[in-house]
Amino acid sequence: MTRISNIAERYRARFKGTPRVYRAPGRVNLIGEHTDYNDGFAMPAAIEFYCWVAVGSRDDRKLSIYSEEFSAGAEADVSSTAISPTKSWSDYPIGVALELEKAGFRLRGANLFIESEVPMGAGLSSSAAIEVATALALAESSGGRPDRLQLARLCQKAENEFVGARVGIMDQFVSLHGQKDHALLLDCRSLNFKSLAIPDSVKLVISNTMVKHELASSEYNRRRADCEEAVRRLATVLPGIRALRDVSLEQLERHRGLLTEVIYKRALHIVTENARVLDSAEALEAGDIERFGKRMAESHRSLRDLYEVSCRELDLMVDLAYQQKGVFGARMTGGGFGGATINLVDARRAGEFKEKLGKAYQRETGLVPQIYICRPAEGAGPVATSDL
Ligand code: GLA
């Protein structure tokens, strides 16, 4: 049985009727970390790990949601204004439903069967994948014709306001706009993007350290607050600035005295990371993967030493990657504090890279890492019913 019909089967067993099925991918970010909420640049690609949502309508205005992963169900009445988060997985789909309502989509009641293959806590955007797949399922099954940009914004808002993580828009955006074999050079202020082909000769190797950091979301929000503080202080002498995106390296150095050491380090990461993304995009367009790799190495060091969102296992995974043959660049990817690294690897060496890196990491830590050899995938959408 294919994965899709399997999901439809299990939907039928729980809710009866034939569902429509939607899927949304996770993502890996090649470079440009923590820049999105600073109105900066990032370079994510969607990956072939999906969250699947099977949906069928109901006659009332209730949502009945079930996830086999959590062996748990949840219910919510979309017409109620008194729904509070429960700090569990169901906050994601329910938060999205509430945002859709607020945005004027009048939702019908629905049964939702959710299944995700995006590794959780690995920095590969399992949250955005569940938000986006739910948003598409609910909007379309209520007769809405959602605009993808609006959906991305609305999913981000659900995560900011209902879930309570002040994330930027990169993950939701690329889950909806991803393109097969391409990364997106995303301008997180204008939300314009350019598709950049990833040559066939290169594989994206994602290496999960298997470490999840408890403090990830509170530390994430703190980093964001540090960046906002930097802007507040710098704006006293640079009145035109709205975000760290608007600050040059020269301006930052000139006004360093206005910042504490910690806030200066945070800002220095953002300012230099934006420049690295633009340079990496140029390198990719010129076919210069070696240069791209150098920017990745710098990005990792900056995230480790200035932004301080790496951890021992991520640093080790990166160091070990550079000891292997065929690697162009390696760095942590996503929010950090655990999770995965992204490696750009010569396609001919990818199998050997995976095996040797996995063994070396296991030897040093006793942990068995999950390593995936990927290529960029297409963004979210409905799954053809002929496949059911
Ligand atoms: C998480 C957030 C994104 C982004 C990254 C760091 O994945 O969801 O918005 O800020 O961290 O680049």
Largest separation between any pair of C-alpha atoms in the chain = 66
Asked if residue 168 has its Cβ within 6 Å of ligand 1, the reply is: yes
Q: With 90 as the cut, is the pLDDT of residue 145 above it?
A: no
User: Residue 60 Cα, ligand 1 centroid: separation in angstroms?
Assistant: 36
Name the band, by pLDDT with cuts 50, 70 and 90, for residue 146: confident
Name the band, by pLDDT with cuts 50, 70 and 90, for residue 235: very high
Q: With 90 as the cut, is the pLDDT of residue 38 above it?
A: yes
Asked if residue 36 has its Cβ within 6 Å of ligand 1, the reply is: yes
Q: Which atom of ligand 1 is nearest to the CA of 36?
A: 10
Asked if residue 131 has its Cβ within 6 Å of ligand 1, the reply is: no
Global pTM value: 0.96
Q: Tell me how many degrees the CA angle 218-154-50 measures, rounded to the nearest 5.
A: 80
Least confident of 70-79, 85-94, 174-183, 362-371: 70-79
Name the band, by pLDDT with cuts 50, 70 and 90, for residue 73: confident
Report residue 154 CA to chain centroid gap: 15
Q: With 80 as the cut, is the pLDDT of residue 368 above it?
A: yes
Using DSSP's 3-state secondary structure scheme, residue 244 falls into helix
Contact by Cβ (8 Å): 120, 126: yes
Choose among 201, 191, 168: nearest CA to 292.
Answer: 201
Q: With 60 as the cut, is the pLDDT of residue 388 above it?
A: no
Q: What's the pLDDT score for residue 385?
A: 65
Catalytic site includes residue 346: no
Pocket test for ligand 1, best of 27, 30, 31, 34 (most atoms within 8 A of CB): 34
Task: Name the closest-CA residue to atom 9, ligand 1.
Answer: 168
Q: What distance in Å separates the CA atoms of residue 226 and residue 230, rounded to the nearest whole number?
A: 6
Asked if residue 159 has its Cβ within 6 Å of ligand 1, the reply is: no
- Region 288-296: what's the mean pLDDT? 98
Give the chain's mean pLDDT.
95
Q: What's the pLDDT score for residue 61?
A: 92
Local structure of residue 161 (DSSP, 8 states):
I
- Region 281-304: what's the mean pLDDT? 98
Choose among 119, 194, 127: nearest CA to 158.
Answer: 127
Q: What distance in Å separates the CA atoms of residue 293 and residue 329, rounded to the nearest whole number?
A: 4
Name the band, by pLDDT with cuts 50, 70 and 90, for residue 205: very high
Contact by Cβ (8 Å): 146, 88: no
Q: What's the pLDDT score for residue 215?
A: 59
Asked if residue 26 has its Cβ within 6 Å of ligand 1, the reply is: no
Q: Which atom of ligand 1 is nearest to the CA of 168?
A: 9
DSSP-assigned beta bridge partners for residue 204: 344, 374
- Region 127-148: what's the mean pLDDT? 92
Q: What's the pLDDT score for residue 212?
A: 87
Q: With 60 as the cut, is the pLDDT of residue 206 above it?
A: yes
Q: With 80 as the cut, is the pLDDT of residue 213 above it?
A: no
Q: What's the pLDDT score for residue 244?
A: 98
Choose among 28, 47, 45, 37: nearest CA to 274.
Answer: 37
Q: What does the pLDDT look like over 160-177, one tens digit per residue?
A: 999 999 999 999 999 999
Catalytic residue among 39, 171, 226, 246, which?
171
Residue 177, both tokens: 């706009």
Q: What does the pLDDT look like over 242-253, one tens digit per residue?
A: 999 999 999 999
Choose among 16, 15, 18: nearest CA to 5.
Answer: 18
Pocket test for ligand 1, best of 31, 47, 167 (most atoms within 8 A of CB): 167
Q: What's the pLDDT score for residue 3?
A: 72
Q: Which atom of ligand 1 is nearest to the CA of 127?
A: 8
DSSP string, 206-234: EEE-----TTHHHHHHHHHHHHHHHHHHH
Q: With 80 as the cut, is the pLDDT of residue 209 above it?
A: yes
Asked if residue 335 has its Cβ within 6 Å of ligand 1, the reply is: yes
Q: What's the pLDDT score for residue 387?
A: 55
Q: What's the pLDDT score for residue 386?
A: 64
Asked if residue 163 has its Cβ within 6 Å of ligand 1, the reply is: no
